[in-house]
Amino acid sequence: MSAAHASSRVVLLGTGTPNAEPDRSGSCVAVVTGGSSYLVDFGPGSVRRAKAACAAGIAELCPQLLTTSFVTHLHSDHTAGLADLILTPWTLGRNVPLRIFGPEGLRDMAAHVLEAYSVDIEDRLGGLQPSNGRGWEVEVEEIRSAGRVYEDENVRVEAIEANHGSRKALGYRFETGDRSIAISGDTAPFDGWEESLRDCDLLLHEVYSAHGLSLMDPEWQAYHRAMHTSSEELALLAREVRPGLLVLYHHLLHGVPEEDLLGEIRTLYDGPVMIGKDLQILE
């Protein structure tokens, strides 16, 4: 990685959950540095959110430039935008394959998407519409273990093994020319949690409201406690690892106002913390 690129930005393209909230697209975070962008997840609406960010002045997120993505896990709210990410940037001019990195099963998912859209691809390649021959292709690298998974002149990316059910789930830590950015994906606390996230400048972490969860049915309470991170657990983590800024995303409110969730965190943690919003830019 070159140290020449001294500035990075994080753009929250989607902060949502499986709930169909019109003001929160599916999970998608973009790290923008050195003239390139790197997506983490591609939930529903990701490409259109990227286009909105492009229109707002972040040229690296123009759809035809979306070429590299990392996937935390294969749940639909994090991956339902895959067909859109493969095909829409291609129709808009992307002329290189899409590269995606993620857990086992990702290669099959991409292959099935391409099969499902084979008629579309054949029509665009063989019909009158101008197209190129490579922009629809997908190169998949499945991540088998934690550690360094990617490096170029702009970033180094480490995968973190998370705790989100029986199938492999991942978080990611990006080291750019000017800061360290950790993105949790979906996870409950796990062994080594603190060490993997210690001393990052920016920590984007999922969270659910502990109070809101207490109002739900027992079955849902058991599920979320096993699969996700409560406001109390996240506050104690932040006290230990002391990020430069803690950003809440993929926040499960369970009926409580956002400010109440923020208050639950601040009761136990006195560092900088904010609730992430779609299309928010973190300089």
- Give the count of alpha carbons within 13 A of 34, CB side only: 17
- Range of weakest confidence among 3-17, 45-59, 80-94, 212-226: 3-17
**What local confidence, expressed as pLDDT, does residue 167 receive?**
86
For 239-250, the pLDDT digits (tens) are: 999 999 999 999
**What local confidence, expressed as pLDDT, does residue 157 receive?**
98
CA distances from 208 to 171, 223, 278 (A): 17, 12, 18
Question: Which tokens hold the place of 219?
Answer: 């079955």
**What local confidence, expressed as pLDDT, does residue 223 receive?**
94
CATH 3.60.15.10 fits 8-282, yes or no: yes
Per-residue pLDDT band at 127 (split at 50, 70, 90): confident
For 192-203, the pLDDT digits (tens) are: 999 999 999 999
Backbone angles phi, psi at 64, to 5 degrees: -65, -10
Task: Return the domain boundaries, the chain.
Answer: 8-282
For 172-186, the pLDDT digits (tens) are: 999 999 999 999 999
**What local confidence, expressed as pLDDT, does residue 34 receive?**
96
For 88-109, the pLDDT digits (tens) are: 999 999 999 999 999 999 999 9
Query: What pTM was computed for the model?
Result: 0.95
**What local confidence, expressed as pLDDT, does residue 2 receive?**
54
Report CA dihedral (94, 98, 99, 102) to the nearest 10 degrees.
140
Question: For the chain, what is the largest distance between any 2 Cα atoms, rounded to a whole number of angstroms?
Answer: 61
